[in-house]
Amino acid sequence: MSTMQTLTDAGLTKAQITGGDLPVNSPIDGSEIARVSQTQLAELPQVLDRAEAAFQAWRQVPAPQRGELVRLLGEELRAGKEALGAVVTLEAGKITSEGLGEVQEMIDICDFAVGLSRQLYGLTIASERPGHRMMETWHPLGPTTVITAFNFPVAVWSWNTALALVCGNPVIWKPSEKSPLTAMAAMAALERALQRFGDAPEGLVQLVIGGAELGDALVTDPRVPLVSATGSTRMGRVVAPKVAERFGRSILELGGNNAMIVAPSADLEMAVRAIVFSAVGTAGQRCTSLRRLIVHEDIRSGLVEKLKAAYASLPVGDPRESGTLVGPLIDAGARDTMLAALEQARAEGGTVHGGEAVEAVAGGAYVSPALVEMPGQSAIVETETFAPILYVMGYQTLDEAIALQNGVPQGLSACIFTRDLREAETFVSAVGADCGIINVNIGPSGAEIGGAFGGEKETGGGRESGSDAWKGYMRRATNTINYSDELPLAQGVKFDI
């Protein structure tokens, strides 16, 4: 299928993908596949005006009715799943099943948000004063800016947008400059849902395409009470203080340096499968990718041999081809960063298996996944490299392993493979892993939408997707209602006049 056919099947027009000022290159072969128009900084005041006007109207729409729009979006995504998944593969380089999986994730969060639209409830709280009732109410917060990264170009937007919409908030979406086409295709699906919905305010969801200057303007504008930003820790260090300076709210999903502990009792065959997918899936370009493997010394050498054999068998190539498991890195810069990290690992005492450039498709940044045996948790191991590098270290006691897991600045996802109940319970306890996602006998990657997604420390502390993450998109009010004929004060205070 031609590139133009792939894009038009996803709802994009020729006019949208030609003649703009931002070139878009496919990581598959490095070729330019489109030129899209960027949003000019001078246009941003109108974007914000539309969002504010939309908020005034949308917050008055009953939440279950807001959920109806999200239900329609889910239907459009179901109908266009293959077409949108193909654009994800074309623009982000994911293998076909992962591109389709990303769209399924969008569908799943729509289903979740539809149910949520009837469950935006608060607590009823016992009052110490006779004839009084206390309760919580939750209200829409306001226009929400969503800044997304190239590696999950549409799923992360859907996590935020589905929740923001049912909570009563308009959305302004700034995608990565490396993946604007998937954003435009997702917006085409939303436009179809809006047409079917029929009575949504103009400017309810808007797409802006551009660079850091545009993002900075959105982050610093006081008309945007909530900024949800996904990207590097470096990006988060810029965004967080600017939002905080104006007393805004931020949901930050930043770096991950995720570890797996493999205990002596582990099912090694299952562990190998989990390790390979977690470390190699999406060419190691997930925030939840497995980057550190902490293995008990009694089984370390045997597990490494199994992994070396598994890594040697991995098909690297065009992600559209059946059988490919490892597609390209996003660009040549990512490949160069990976190769530099491997050189540093060697300098720090590491033994590298794999990690060579692969001429899979001319023009694409393809590499063989790297397995690196390290003498300890050195500086490069503590640094997240967004590529398929897996550092292997040994341990003797569980306490030592947990200390290694926690001994990095990031705190997104962690897991342990063990059949020992005491080890498993210790790992998920308060003295165990310090991450936002902690798993037992499953890898750190591939989270379901039902749970809140996010992490601690330099991962940013934000939570998106399931559980009660919706509360981040709303403002809470505590209400006290006096239905008595008296006016008692709390804490027994007397103030008679």
Could you list the active site residues?
Answer: 253, 287
Q: Which residues pair with 446 in a beta bridge?
A: none
Of 273, 252, 261, 254, which is closest to residue 439 (Cα–Cα)?
261
- Token couple for 205: 């969801």
Burial class from Cβ neighbours inside 10 Å (0-12, 13-18, 19+) for residue 111 reads middle
Angle between helices 233-245 and 212-220 (to 10 degrees): 40
Give the whole-angstrom CA distance, residue 351 versus residue 349.
7
CA torsion through residues 161, 167, 169, 170, sign? positive
- The set of residues, in sequence order, having a beta carbon less than 8 Å from that of 30 and lying 6+ positions away, is 331, 332, 363, 364, 365
Q: Are strands 22-25 and 370-373 parallel, antiparallel or unpaired?
A: unpaired
Q: Which amino acid is at 229?
A: A
- How many residues make up the chain in this entry? 497
Smallest CA-to-CA distance from 26 within 281, 322, 331 is with 331
Burial per residue of 50-64, b for 16 or more beta-carbon CB atoms within 10 angstroms, e otherwise: bbebbbeebbebebe
